[in-house]
Structure 1
């Protein structure tokens, strides 16, 4: 049960966006830019970064949501997303993505935890400065999103179909559609 009366029954961050649409707009625009905007990282790869950080933060709603969003946008689909959540180090992702995940993990622990050798390892694996920038910002943003969702005790669906339905909305219409649907 949420810690405050959100005046709606939507799960997770969707309930928070419906409760306070004036903050939802900038938050969904940031997610749209980071996870769906132009990038040399695929949308699915960026969703995996969001999933990873959310898992590290223990945010079940966001980790499950973004794993579903990744599954819907990766050629390997749900199989890779499930493998990734179970064991990111053993998942069949590129060396570059694995190196970027190490950077994201350091950000999740705290910005000063990102060391020059983390950055160099990602560069050695082929990461560009833009990919490093976006990885750090995705990780930082998801620390905020995760704490927002869990800090207000939002509800978490048990049914995987709820995450698949949200994935369909996000994949087909983008993150800003969430604020249009909830506002």
Structure 2
């Protein structure tokens, strides 16, 4: 049985995107609804960082439950942008640029690629104090912080819902960065 993203042939304007751009999406699954419910503006439930390889855009991100094979361990992964934004994973999305400084952006993307290459596990505990495992926003903020930019600008929210409690860094906390600019968006 083919997955929906294998059938869908959506073209994204990859020529507009550069290393280090952030890919935000809003999913339709249960975890996406939980993230949206915990958010203030509820635009996006997930984020990754773009890395160009042979002029093709890939998104490096940490997400649970999207393994290629049943039983695979959740970890930081890299996949083509059209799969990241596939119809079964995204009802809306955007690409945003953190900085016009290409060296910083490229270094952040390369650092994310290194984290993915090591097989860094997904952080099911959502612990920002432990970078041995990572969740989506933690990964993105971590690699940019290593390059001198704190995209979160200290924004961490305390969430107290029946499903999740604790301190979390949300996608909207990164999208609120003072110097971020939207390059592209879509909605289905």
- TM-score normalised by structure 2 residue count: 0.29
Higher strand share: 2
Query: Relative CO higher for 1 or 2, CA cutoff 8 Å, sep ≥ 6?
Result: 1
Higher helix share: 1
- TM-score normalised by structure 1 residue count: 0.30
